[in-house]
Amino acid sequence: MQAGPISRISRMLPHLRTSVTRSLQRRVIFSIAVVTLVVAAGFSVASFASVRSSLMEQATSQAQKDFSDEMDRAQANLDSADLSSDADAQRLISDLASTLQDDGSSNLLGIYIIGEGEGGADLIPVSTDPNYLSLVSESMRGQVLRSNAGDMFYQPVGFDREGRHDLPGAILGGLLTRPDGGTLSLFAAYSYEIQQTTVMNIEFALLVSCLLMSIVVGLIIWRVMRGIIRPVSNVASTAEKLASGDLSARTEVTRRDEIGVLQQSFNEMADSLNEKIDELETVSSMQRRFVSDVSHELRTPVTTIRMAADLLEARKDGFEPSTARTVELLSEQTSRFQQMLADLLEISRYDAGSASADLVETDIRVPVDDAVDDVREIAQARHVVISITMPDYPVAADMDSRRITRIIRNLLGNAIDFAEDKPIEVRVAANDRAVVVSVRDFGVGIDPEDLEHIFDRFWRADTSRSRLTGGTGLGLSIAMQDALLHEGDLSVRSRLGEGTWFLLSIPIRAGSGSVDERDRPVRFIEGSYPGIIGSFLEGRTRLDGYASSGSNDAALEAEGGDGR
């Protein structure tokens, strides 16, 4: 049963911590309240200790003064008494104890008198309250007997009285002399119960004061912070709206102090940001239109140049060797220029948001074969073998075959450029959610810093490297956009000296949304190269490209086969 409240409190603490850490107002109020409580508690403890010490010192002084007066009265009575026998002495100390009890202070609990008669015989001890006689220690009795008349001894004790335990008090003792030469040991028990009650009342009052002070300070701080936090919260809310795309959001200027300056400055910043965005959109629109217009305008003269270059290319055998080489260069550069114009037109469509995919259920093997056919001559020129492993049965998915072919062609062209005469692998994986096409080379690889920019426009990992594919620097950027049009993804991993690996993933069915990475048939293991989760489809492997030498087959096996 006792664990219930503790368990509930322990469950509440995380919620309280979360509530405090996520709110500036709660955090400030909580911090100030705790600091106030700690300071008040420290002040209260110091005050309580000082008051308690003062009250106890006062009680001790009063008890000592009262006991000193009692000893003086008792000694005066003894000096004037006629003690002719022990019986007279016994009657005297009995009367004396009663008199001293009646004349003593209100906190006097009892009087105890112990004495010796003639010949060393002990008188019967007299006590007005025998309950506390046992509190007089033997050591104190011995000290009193060995002392001189008028000396006073003090012993702090604890009382049990009326159901209350360990009440503070004291035993005081002293020695009295009788006219017949004997001595009497006088002891008095004093209670500090009144002082203890006063101390407890003060302690309770200080505790209540600390709590009330913390609550009052917390309320005051809450009221002050509310006036500060509310406009700041409004600014934060407006900032969230701006971040979500609502560029018309503004905050109301409600104050003239620093908070008002913040509100006004925020609105001015939002206005300036809106103007800059409008300017950038205008410039971007003009830039897209310029690229599109220039590309369209250049198509006609480039087509004319292409026709002239083709005509010269067809008759180059009749030219001088130097002239024939010039014709070849003209034809190559014209083709590259024509491809760049096509890429720029495609990029402008993406930027304008007018690009769309004509999704039709297609066997993925078709665009793979088409892409390999497109790069066959380039692979042969670079002495690169392309290993294609695909199943003998169709692997259908909704796709724009032209765009998928372009993606794979761009990936193969990139791989050929950096394969360094090593083979390239093309494999396919599929499940009921997605199709994955893998293109992997075992060439130079890409530096991790460069890998972050591989899909940027006009970016190349090594600008000094010669390229046979006639790339424009837009191929991988367009490939990524084509993959996104299919609600797919194009991911890459690479390591210097080991090669580069691309995975193209597209959903099986159009309109089903992008496929979560965990649901894909093959995916990369983060931070591992070459590491993948999943397996590719088994099937017949054929070699394409530069296949005239058996050395490439051996190289393919040496590089790891399927790459798993």
Q: Tokens 């096509």 belong to which residue?
A: 342
SS3 state of residue 329: helix
- pLDDT, tens digit, for every residue of 236-289? 888 888 888 887 888 888 878 887 888 888 888 888 888 888 888 787 777 767
Q: Tokens 């140049």 belong to which residue?
A: 305
Q: Which of 439, 344, 346 is nearest to 400 (CA)?
A: 346
Position 434 scores a pLDDT of 92
String of DSSP letters for 201-241: HHHHHHHHHHHHHHHHHHHHHHHHHHHHHHHHHHHHHHHHH
SS3 content of the chain, % helix, strand, coil (to 5): 55, 20, 25
Q: Report the C-alpha gap between 438 and 520 in whole angstroms.
A: 13
Position 516 scores a pLDDT of 87
Position 14 scores a pLDDT of 65
Position 426 scores a pLDDT of 94
Q: Which domains does the chain have, with CATH numbers?
A: 69-192 (3.30.450.20), 250-355 (1.10.287.130), 357-558 (3.30.565.10)
- pLDDT, tens digit, for every residue of 350-363? 766 767 788 999 99
Q: Tokens 């809450």 belong to which residue?
A: 222
Phi then psi dihedrals of residue 182, to 5 deg: -80, 180
Both tokens of 456, joined, read 């940027």
The overall longest dimension of the chain from CA atoms, in Å, is: 169
The pLDDT profile of the chain, 564 residues, written as one tens digit per residue, is 444 566 665 666 666 566 656 666 677 777 777 787 788 778 777 877 787 788 888 888 888 888 888 888 888 888 877 766 667 777 877 888 888 887 777 778 888 888 765 544 466 677 777 777 778 888 888 888 888 887 889 888 887 766 566 788 888 888 888 777 778 888 888 888 887 888 888 888 888 887 888 788 778 877 877 777 778 788 888 888 888 888 788 888 887 888 788 888 888 888 888 888 888 878 777 776 776 676 667 777 877 887 888 888 788 777 888 888 888 788 877 777 777 777 777 777 776 676 778 899 999 999 999 999 988 888 888 889 999 999 989 999 999 998 899 899 989 988 998 888 899 999 999 998 999 999 999 999 888 888 888 888 777 655 444 444 545 677 788 888 888 888 999 999 999 989 999 999 999 998 888 888 888 999 898 877 888 888 888 888 888 766 544 434 433 443 344 433
Determine contact, residues 417/444, Cβ cutoff 8 Å.
Answer: no
Q: Count the neighbouring beta carbons within 10 Å of the beta carbon of residue 551.
A: 11
